């Protein structure tokens, strides 16, 4: 005869095997879905200042300020395997010092059940738009891109770029007004 511990071990092992199979089915049922959506972005106000960097070097660096509009509908991204979305708006540009610069300007977390239709007007950036030198002044090719991570119940953590980009340029002169 089997003891109570052996029977309990068999039941627990069987239950864990069933749960592992159900988790894999959860992952497999949504892995091939297309999670790309459209996003419309626009810059409203763009200025650049030359301010001192308060590190040990005390050099002056460019600091960009911008307000933006963002419109997108993310409700189609939610299914039974999506817990939340992590959105972030990045700016990409070239300078003489660096071939590729990427700066995260804004982010937001949207939980399942929250309103996933975004229609923001005149939003300020959440994070500073610093450049490690003077690469923002008169820069003609800054590209805004909306990206997001889908946080699933089970499965991969994809990094997805929304369709739609917005390019803008910084002015030729530094501003001296307070922001």
Does residue 178 fall inside a structural domain? no
Q: What is the pTM of this model?
A: 0.85
Please, what is the average pLDDT of the chain? 91
122/43 Cα distance (integer angstroms): 8
% of the chain exceeding 70 in pLDDT: 97
**pLDDT surpassing 70 at residue 39:** yes
pLDDT of amino acid 57: 67
The answer on 54 and 110 residing in a single domain is yes
The answer on 103 and 92 residing in a single domain is yes
Which domain does 22 fall in, by range? 1-30
The answer on 61 and 17 residing in a single domain is no
31/148 Cα distance (integer angstroms): 16
SS3 call for 29: helix
Question: Which of 7, 147, 145 shows the shortest CA–CA distance to 77?
Answer: 147
Tens-place pLDDT, residues 50-63: 888 776 667 888 89
99/149 Cα distance (integer angstroms): 25
List Cα–Cα distances, 61 to 32, 42, 48, 174, in angstroms: 45, 25, 10, 11
Tens-place pLDDT, residues 139-177: 999 999 999 999 998 888 989 999 999 999 999 898 877
Does residue 144 fall inside a structural domain? yes
The answer to whether 145 and 160 have CB atoms below 8 angstroms apart is no
Tens-place pLDDT, residues 76-122: 999 989 999 999 999 999 988 889 999 999 999 999 999 999 999 99
List Cα–Cα distances, 89 to 72, 108, 125, 165, in angstroms: 12, 9, 9, 10
The answer on 128 and 103 residing in a single domain is yes
């Amino acid at each position: 005869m089997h003891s109570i511990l052996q029977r309990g071990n068999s039941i627990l092992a069987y239950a864990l095997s069933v749960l592992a199979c159900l988790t894999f089915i959860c992952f497999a049922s949504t892995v091939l879905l297309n999670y790309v959506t459209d996003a419309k972005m626009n810059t409203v106000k763009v200025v650049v200042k030359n301010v001192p960097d308060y590190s040990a070097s005390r050099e002056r660096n460019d600091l960009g300020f911008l307000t933006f509009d963002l419109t997108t509908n993310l409700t189609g991204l939610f299914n039974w395997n999506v817990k939340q979305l992590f959105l972030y708006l990045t700016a990409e540009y070239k300078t003489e010092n660096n071939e590729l610069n990427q700066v995260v300007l804004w982010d937001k977390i949207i939980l399942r059940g929250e309103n996933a239709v975004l229609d923001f007007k005149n939003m300020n950036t959440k994070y500073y738009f610093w450049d490690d030198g003077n690469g923002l002044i008169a820069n003609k090719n800054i590209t805004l891109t909306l990206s997001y991570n889908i946080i699933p119940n089970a499965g991969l953590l994809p990094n997805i770029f929304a369709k739609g980009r917005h390019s803008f340029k910084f002015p030729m002169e530094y501003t001296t007004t307070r922001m």
